Chain A
Amino acid sequence: QVQLVQSGAEVKKPGASVKVSCKASGYAFTTYGISWVRQAPGQGLEWMGWISTSYGTTKYAQNFQDRVSMTTDTSTSTVYMELRTLRSDDTAVYYCARDETAVKDYWGQGTLVTVSS
């Protein structure tokens, strides 16, 4: 069965970086891209960007363009999302989702990132 398993919760100080992983299984990894979506406490879903797992090409949302990097490791079927220069309002649950043609059909369990001094 398709599974996306994310890394565990993180606590970071303002100005630091965080790198969240998303390990895929149960399907041919390079046939689907991966999107990252975040949800601040009590807020809605926010799309951060998408990566092609076959080519490594990326598309980022304008809000994150200069602070986010998404990479893929086909040898381990894992996608990474790094967010830099963290602020308190980056505190959120970060989700990865299998995504082709903007259809997010399977989601990871979410990773809580807390930014606090």
Chain B
Amino acid sequence: QSALTQPASVSGSPGQSITISCTGTSSDVGGYNYVSWYRQHPGKAPKLIIFEVSNRPSGVSTRFSGSKSGNTASLTISGLQAEDEADYYCSSYTSSHTHVFGTGTKVTVL
């Protein structure tokens, strides 16, 4: 199972919106609505920010939103803040009943 493809880095200025893509295949992202997103600050454990494509866990800011079209899922962060500077990973369930993560995206707040 190959990792899902994410851009290595995305940057934006405070207050702007950015979007991170996550491209897979019809055997993972495109085939299931079990796509989730995680944020990881340096030296910390990942934190769930979006599950089942577009749902936010309780306590996660409404600035985070998720969507999916075909084999590509997307995470949008609106009103970019300094605390959003972190690594972001998508993940999907697969047709082999396994899970796969994306390659990860480093978000920089300019």
Contacts and interface: CB of A to CB of B under 8 A. Distances in A.
Contact of B104 (A35, A45, A101): A45
Most buried by A among B34, B89, B91: B91
A59 B1 CA distance: 14
Q: Is the interface of A mostly helix, strand, loop or mixed?
A: strand
A108 to B, nearest CB: 7
A45 B38 contact: yes
Contacts of A50: 99
B3 A102 contact: no
Contact of B34 (A44, A101, A105): A101
Report the interface size class on chain A. Answer: 20 to 34
Q: How many residues of B sit at the interface, in one of the four size bands?
A: 20 to 34
A66 B12 CA distance: 43
A11 interface: no
Nearest to A109: B45
Given A44-B89, A44-B103, A45-B104, A105 B48 contact: yes
Interface of B: 1, 3, 34, 36, 38, 40, 45-48, 51-52, 57, 89, 91-93, 96-104
Given A37-B101, A101-B52, 13 more contacts: A35-B99, A45-B89, A47-B98, A47-B99, A61-B1, A61-B98, A95-B46, A101-B34, A104-B38, A105-B48, A107-B45, A107-B46, A108-B45
Interface of A: 35, 37, 44-47, 50, 59, 61-62, 95, 97, 99, 101-105, 107-110
